[in-house]
């Protein structure tokens, strides 16, 4: 899937978030998401440094971790964006990896807003 296709993926998976809400409640999900945001901030920073420094092996590992973490909370488009950075890094495509990284940053902001709106609607 390329960057244009990733943009068409659903931003979040509401059913997955709702499943978490049933198990953990709003406060529990907020705690889960707080940990997710902290982790994502760290991983995103590490990923940007790795890509910009051309350290592709590190970028692949970091993007993979970010992809899995995003998928676990139903952040579909963020997971897909991380997968694209992972693939571009695995192939040593520096300019494409940087472009994918920029898209990931934009999707991160959109995802955070969407998840907060979803929780507010359930809270």
Q: What pLDDT shows up at residue 99?
A: 96
Q: Is the whole-model pTM more than 0.85? A: yes
Domain residue limits, the chain: 3-122
Print pLDDT tens along the chain (123 aa): 455 555 556 899 999 999 999 999 999 999 999 999 999 999 999 999 999 999 999 999 999 999 999 999 999 999 999 999 999 999 999 999 999 999 999 999 999 999 999 988 887
Pairwise CA distance, residues 61 & 42, whole Å: 13
Q: Which of these CATH numbers, 3.30.365.10, 3.40.50.1000, 1.20.120.160, 3.40.1280.10, describes 3-122?
A: 1.20.120.160
CB atoms inside a 10 Å sphere around CB 103: 19
Pairwise CA distance, residues 57 & 54, whole Å: 9
Any idea what DSSP says for residue 82? H
């Amino acid at each position: 899937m390329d960057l244009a296709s990733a943009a068409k993926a659903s931003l979040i998976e509401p059913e997955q978030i709702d499943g978490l809400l049933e198990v953990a409640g709003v406060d529990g999900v907020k705690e889960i998401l707080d940990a997710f945001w902290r982790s994502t901030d760290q991983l995103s920073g590490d990923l940007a440094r790795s890509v910009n420094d051309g350290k592709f092996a590190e970028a692949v590992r970091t993007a993979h971790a970010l992809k899995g973490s995003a998928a676990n909370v139903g952040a579909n488009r963020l997971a897909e964006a991380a997968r694209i950075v992972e693939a571009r890094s695995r192939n040593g495509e520096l300019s494409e990896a940087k472009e994918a990284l920029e898209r990931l940053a934009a999707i991160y902001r959109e995802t955070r807003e969407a998840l907060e709106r979803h929780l507010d609607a359930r809270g």
